[in-house]
């Protein structure tokens, strides 16, 4: 298994869309919408691929300014959850983004994922709120000084 950056509209990007829809949207009775993927040509995409070159985890970051990356739609295939792939991918992304001059990563974290992010040094900011029908909270981490 290895972590890689992926190109917008590539075969791996298409596999990420399917994974994100299956893991993040379908359990909520939703599907990935045009709004969910708007402007992804301007965003950063990363994935974990297995030995068969299949995407088994993925994440998207938007960069609203040169020092900030906003994590969005982080998905790990349910057959691979609990195997530290999320940690592996996020640590890879942090290193890649830091090399690109990013200093802070922020996100709207699902309540069920807060513990995962806290173990990796992310801090909560504010109160829980509802988005896509479930509780979220803002989180952030400084990855560079």
Where do the structural domains in the chain lie, given as residue ranges? 2-142
The pLDDT assigned to 111 comes to 97
Give the C-alpha separation, 12 to 129, whole Å: 32
DSSP H or E segment with residue 95: helix 85-99
pLDDT digits (tens, 9 = 90+) for 120-139: 999 999 999 999 999 999 99
CB atoms within 10 A of CB 94: 19
2-142 domain in CATH 3.40.630.30? Answer: yes
**Residues forming beta bridges with residue 61, ordered by sequence position:** 44, 71
pLDDT digits (tens, 9 = 90+) for 97-107: 999 999 999 99
> What pTM, to 2 d.p., does this model score?
0.94
Phi, psi of 85 (to 5 degrees): -70, -35
Q: What's the chain's average pLDDT?
A: 96
Least confidently predicted of 3-12, 25-34, 102-111, 116-125:
25-34
Give the C-alpha separation, 42 to 39, whole Å: 6
Smallest CA-to-CA distance from 46 within 10, 83, 82 is with 10
């Amino acid at each position: 298994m290895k972590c890689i950056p992926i190109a917008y509209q590539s075969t791996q990007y298409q596999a990420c869309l399917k994974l994100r829809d299956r893991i993040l949207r379908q359990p909520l009775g939703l599907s990935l919408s045009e709004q969910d993927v708007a402007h992804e040509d301007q965003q950063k995409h990363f994935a974990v691929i297995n030995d068969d070159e299949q995407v088994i985890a993925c994440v998207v970051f938007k960069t609203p300014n040169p020092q900030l990356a906003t994590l969005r739609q982080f998905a790990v295939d349910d057959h691979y959850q609990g195997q530290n792939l999320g940690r592996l991918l996020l640590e890879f992304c942090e290193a890649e983004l830091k090399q690109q001059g990013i200093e802070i990563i922020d996100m709207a974290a699902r309540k069920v994922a807060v513990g995962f992010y806290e173990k990796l040094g992310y801090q909560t900011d504010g109160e829980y709120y509802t988005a896509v029908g479930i509780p979220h909270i803002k989180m952030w981490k400084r990855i560079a000084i």
